[in-house]
Chains A and B, each alone.
Chain A
Amino acid sequence: MILESLDIGRSAFEQGTGWQLKPEGACKGEVCIPLPSPPGDEVHVESLAAAMGLPLVKAGEQALWALGPEHVSGHALTTADAPDLCLPDLNGNPFHLSSLRGRKVLLYAWAPY
């Protein structure tokens, strides 16, 4: 997740990371990571990232960061529940993977290089 500020809205954090902030902690699928304090409407990414074990990398002196993914399970997947992937098509229109519920889906990753 790309950030230009470390203080962001809770829903932006949830959409960007796929982790839901609940009273019991940060949760994805069946997994919850306890948090030191209950989350409010605004979150401080640095402390939240530290509590969740998410890496945060800054671009030199610029106010630009990348918040990396979790490694809590020791694997790329924390849960078998598919994340709600949302990516643009060629015309820039966003497409939500969840719109295909009810069908079997094969995600196919390719590259033009």
Chain B
Amino acid sequence: MWQALRDALSPKGFELVTIGLDTLGAQGCRAFMEAAAPTHPALIDSHHVVADLFGITNIPQSVWINEQGRIVRPAEAAPAPPDIPRGQPPAMSGELPQRFIEIFTEASKITQDAVGYHAALRDWVDNGDSSRYALSATEVIARSRPRNADVALGHAHFELACELERRGRHDAAIAHFREAHRLVPDSWTFRRQAWSLEPVGDSALARFWQGPAPDRPADWPYAGDWLTDIRREGPENYYDTWRP
């Protein structure tokens, strides 16, 4: 979807850089990236440094950067182009588990302003810094994610958890993921990453289960899970409302 948009806008001096956030690195991202066969830079971020550097808290989110290397829009939800049909849930052989039916039901209630976002994107690509959607430096900083000492500390715990996970120390990683979740409660990526490392079953959807296994619910090491959390917070709040 984004590849087609990138190809259309590329002659106007535009480039797309995709960043796959996954502690499992290339092993986790490879199948998706090879299927997409990108012609633009496609990178892998195993420690979520873009959370530290840009305040990424959910996926998909984007950051816009101008020709001089100045951020003109901080991290915000990046809906798929509105003129391209939305992807269908991945095909499963056999019956879909009830949990996925509930996940897709909640996901279908997530709201995004794809029309507004993509009109703004095209306006910026055409008009550059004079676009009304290119924000001043002051506004960019002010709109970026609030961060106090606790949030910064939560980021350190998260990065350490990723490193421990990569070194095969899964149990040690969990304690630091839990601290990251406690200290940065508004980050969906911090939660989803940790939950994805507790796969259920061995289907292509194992990492999307994102919650306790039905046959051993007491083993779930986290305070929340995707279904519980999105119901508590409201699917309409999953992404911040887009602001021009």
**B230 contacts the other chain (CB 8 A):** no
**A12 contacts the other chain (CB 8 A):** no
- Binary per-residue interface labels of chain B (18-42) against chain A in the complex, 1 for a CB within 8 Å, 0 otherwise: 1111100010111111100000011
In the bound complex, CA of A109 to CA of B43 (Å): 10
Q: Is the interface of A mostly helix, strand, loop or mixed?
A: loop
Q: Which residues of A contact B160 (CB under 8 A)?
A: 2, 57, 59, 64-66
Chain A interface, number of residues (Cβ within 8 angstroms): 52
CB-nearest residue of chain B to A78: B141
Assess whether A81 is in contact with B148, with CB atoms less than 8 Å apart. no
Assess whether B70 is in contact with A76, with CB atoms less than 8 Å apart. no
- Binary per-residue interface labels of chain A (82-106) against chain B in the complex, 1 for a CB within 8 Å, 0 otherwise: 1101011110100101101111111
Assess whether B207 is in contact with A95, with CB atoms less than 8 Å apart. no
Assess whether A90 is in contact with B61, with CB atoms less than 8 Å apart. no
Assess whether A77 is in contact with B55, with CB atoms less than 8 Å apart. yes
State how many angstroms separate the Cβ of A67 from the closest Cβ of chain B: 7
Once A75-B144, A82-B70, A83-B53 are accepted as A-B contacts, the answer to whether A68 and B210 lie under 8 Å apart by CB is: no
Once A87-B45, A113-B22 are accepted as A-B contacts, the answer to whether A75 and B55 lie under 8 Å apart by CB is: yes
Assess whether A75 is in contact with B64, with CB atoms less than 8 Å apart. no
In the bound complex, CA of A110 to CA of B192 (Å): 12
**A53 contacts the other chain (CB 8 A):** yes
Q: Which residues of A contact B26 (CB under 8 A)?
A: 88, 90, 92
- Binary per-residue interface labels of chain B (204-239) against chain A in the complex, 1 for a CB within 8 Å, 0 otherwise: 000110100000000000000000000000000000
Binding site for A on B (CB under 8 A): 2, 12-22, 26, 28-34, 41-45, 47, 49-50, 52-56, 59-72, 74-75, 78, 121, 124-125, 128, 137, 140-142, 144-149, 151-157, 159-160, 163-164, 172, 176, 189, 192-193, 195-196, 207-208, 210
